[in-house]
Amino acid sequence: MTQALIDLGDYIANTAPNEVVGTTVKLGELTVWTRPASLMRLLTLLRDDSNCQFKILVSISGVDYPDREERFEVVYILLSLKHNQRVRVKVSTDEATPVPSVVALYPSANWYEREIWDLYGVLFSDHPDLRRILTDYGFEGHPLRKDFPLTGYVEVRYDEQQKRVVYEPVKLVQDFRSFDFLSPWEGMTRTLPSDVLPGDEKATAQNEGKA
């Protein structure tokens, strides 16, 4: 299977050299990188070429890498029933550069692209109805971005006096938090048998009280 995917990646790269930035096969999965301007031509090839036949769009997902200049990756998973193969197509973009909508090629992309726009803020040009799909109409920001505050920007509650749902600005302070990811067991050291580990003093005090 790995060799078949390597051969498929080479075939795609040789057939569309201007559309393919690179290919890799890792953990039994083929990944093809492309640019936003080349996305439609590449996906058309993958769908229609007799050696590909990736006619099913399994999913589209977004990934956020805030430290990159092009912080977002849009990932397409395609399935070929004829050849029993899958391919992953990746394209990178920033907050301002739109990615072409692939709804014309794969109608099921409609809601996937709306979800990525809603949660990441990635723009899709020529989308027939690009609007929020999971958050509310008045929602601010895009909640799956890595820099989105954990508390959000507004809080929602039901007001008994007004008999309706109201939106209010979040008043919690977002302090910077640093995690060392050290487990309690790794942080405990006992040099002598008489040394008390954190928490053991409670049991010692209880035993002394019983005595």
Label residues 97-127 b or e (16+ Cβ within 10 Å = b): eebbbbbebbeebbebbbbbbbbbbbbbeeb
Question: Crossing angle of helices 39-48/2-15, nearest 10°?
Answer: 120
Phi, psi of 2 (to 5 degrees): -60, -45
pLDDT in single tens digits along all 211 residues of the chain: 689 999 999 999 999 999 999 999 998 899 999 999 999 999 999 999 999 999 999 999 999 999 999 999 999 999 999 999 999 999 999 999 999 999 999 999 999 999 999 999 999 999 999 999 998 877 888 999 998 887 788 888 899 999 998 888 877 665 555 655 666 666 556 555 666 665 666 665 556 655 5
Please tell me the number of Cα atoms within 13 Å of 31 on its side-chain side. 12
* Cβ pair 105, 47 in contact under 8 A: yes
Q: What is the pLDDT of residue 169?
A: 83
**H helices then E strands: how many in the chain?**
5, 9
Only one residue has tokens 């040394």, namely 195
CA distance 202 to 66: 44
Q: What is the pLDDT of residue 176?
A: 55
* Cβ pair 102, 111 in contact under 8 A: no
Closest by CA to 29, choosing from 10, 52, 45, 6, is 6
